[in-house]
Structure 1
C-alpha cells in the first residue's frame, strides 16, 4: 500500500461500517467498483450474504462490542487503506423527554463505538509505511429534538479534529464527511423510534412536545425523500477516502453546505429562527404557532 496511488488503484483494504443499507451500502459498492477490497460491516448473516460480491467481504461487527472489534482488527491485520465510520442510529426527541437510557444508547453507537473502531484502525494504520485515512461523520447544526443525535455527531467531529492533529506527523489523515439529506431508510427507522418515545411521554410532555415530535417526523421523512441519492453520496466518500491530498472536511448535498455556512455566519438567534422556519410547514394544521425559535 502506498500513498502515491490514485483512487482507481487498489492498495490495501477499506473498512466500511454500517454497510447494510443506504450510504454505507452504496459506499461499499462504489469502492469495490474502483478495485478496492472492502470489509463491509453488516448486522445480520442474511445481510452479509446479500451484500457479498467481488471485492466485498461482509463482516458482522457490533461496534459497541469489544470482542467484535478485536476480531475486526485481527482480520484487517496490517493492510488498511481507510476506515469509513458510517454506522449510526438516530434517536430524536426533546432533551427533557428523552430517557437517559436512550441518551446512552445514542452515544454508545454514534460516538464510543466509532472511537473504539478508530483506535483499532489507528493501530493498524500507524504500523504501516503507507497513509491510511479515517473518516468520521460530523455535524455542526442541531435542530429541535436532535439534541442526542447532533450531540453525538458534534462530539465525533471534535474527536476527528484532535485525531487529525495527533496523527498528522505519522502520515495518517482524519477526515470529516458531513452529509445533508440523503435518500436512505434512516427516516423510517427514526420514525419508529420517535413513535415509541412519544408513547412513553407523560401527558404533560405530550401536551408540550407532541406537535413538535410529529413535525420532526414529517420533516425527516421529507428531508430524506428529497435528498441526494445514496450513490452520489458514496462517490464523495470514495473520493475522500482514496484521493492523494484529501481536504479535512467534505459536505454532501447543497443543504449540508448551506447549513455549514449559515452556522458560521449567522448569530445564534437568527439561526434559531431559520431552523424554526424550515420546520414550520411540517406542523399539523392549526399547530404552526407551536414552533419555537
Structure 2
C-alpha cells in the first residue's frame, strides 16, 4: 500500500505543488482547504479544515484516517503572510497571524501524533520560512511566527523520537505563489513616521511577488526528505543568497548583519 500524505493548505501554491508531485509518485494524498467545494481543479481529495479551529482539525484528521486507515506523513504547510511596522499592525491581526502560522500547525501535529504513535512511525514536515531565521523589517510578525515554529519543531522532535516519529522543518525562501493575495498588509498611513520606508518596502515586495522560485522545488525537497532514512532537524530551500543569509547571520557580528539588512531594504 502507498503511504498516506496529509497536506494542510493543499489547494494552492506550495501545498498544491507538493500534493500533485507526490500523487504522481504514487502516494495517496489528501489536502485541506477552508472551502474545498470552491476548488474545482484539485488533482487530489481536499477535506474541509480551518487551522484556527481545533474542532475542525480533529474532524479533518479523523476523516482522513477513516478513509485511508492511517497518516504516514504530515506536511504542515497552511499559512498566511503579514507585513507592516510592528507599531502599526493591529494586535488582533498579530494574534490571527499566530493562530494560523504557529498555533494552527501545533494543533494539527497534536491531532495526528496519537495515530502515528499507534503505528510507531510517522514523519512530520513543518513548512516554515527562511524569514524565520532573522527579524526582517516590516515582516517582523511573520519572522516571529515562523521562527517560533522552527523552535517548536526542535523541541517536539526530541519529545516524540522514542515513538518512531520524526519531525523536521523545511524553510522556503521566496517562491512564486499566491501568498500575497491572502497576506495582511498594514495600510501605509499618511504622515506616519513609517510612511516612506514601509511604503517603499511594500512596493518592492509586491513587485517581486511573482519573481520567486518555482514551487516544484519545494515539492522535490519534501520528496527528498521523505526518502531520507534519518532526516535532518532543519532544511532550507531557495536560491543561494537566501540560504547563505542564514550562514551570514551565524558568523557576522549582530550590528554588521543588521547594517547589511538595512542596506538591502534601503533603510
What TM-score, normalized by structure 1, do the two folds share? 0.83
Q: 1:235 to 1:47 in 2, by over 3 A?
A: farther
**Superposition CA RMSD, Å:** 1.8
Match of 1:198 in 2: 187
1:61 aligns with 2:61: no
Give the structure 2 partner of residue 275 of structure 1. 261
| CA shift in 2, pair 1:236/1:223, >3 Å | farther
Q: Judge conservation of contact 2:11–2:46 (CA < 8 Å) in 1.
A: no
Residue 106 in structure 1 maps to residue 97 in structure 2: yes
**For 1:146 and 1:259, how far apart are their aligned partners in 2?**
16
Work out which of the two has the higher radius of gyration on C-alpha atoms and give 1 or 2: 1
Instruction: Give SS of 2:119's match.
Output: coil
**Quick check: 1:126–1:172 contact (8 Å CA) kept in 2?**
yes
**What is the alpha-carbon distance in structure 2 between the residues aligned to residue 186 and residue 65 of structure 1?**
21
Q: CA deviation at 1:242?
A: 4.0
Does the CA-based 8 Å contact 2:102-2:148 persist in structure 1? Answer: yes
User: What SS does the aligned partner of 1:225 have?
Assistant: coil
Would you say how many aligned residue pairs link Structure 1 and Structure 2?
Answer: 260
Unaligned runs of 5+ in 1: 2-9, 281-290
Deviation, 1:178, is 0.5
Pairwise CA distance, 1:279:
1.6
Are 1:97 and 2:83 an aligned pair?
no
TM-score calculated relative to the size of structure 2: 0.91
Q: Which of 145, 157, 162 is residue 164 of structure 1 equivalent to?
A: 157
* Distance in 2 between residues matched to 1:274 and 1:21, nearest whole Å: 34
Distance 2:70 2:37 in 1: 27
Deviation digits for residues 211-265 of structure 1 (CA, Å, limit 9, x no counterpart): 2222222332354433210112211122223432222211111243112211211
Consecutive unaligned residues of structure 2, counting only runs of 5 or more, are: none
Alignment-derived partner of residue 23 in structure 1: 14
Which residue is 2:123 aligned to? 133
Aligned-partner SS, 1:50: coil
| 1:180 alignment partner, one of 154, 173, 180 | 173
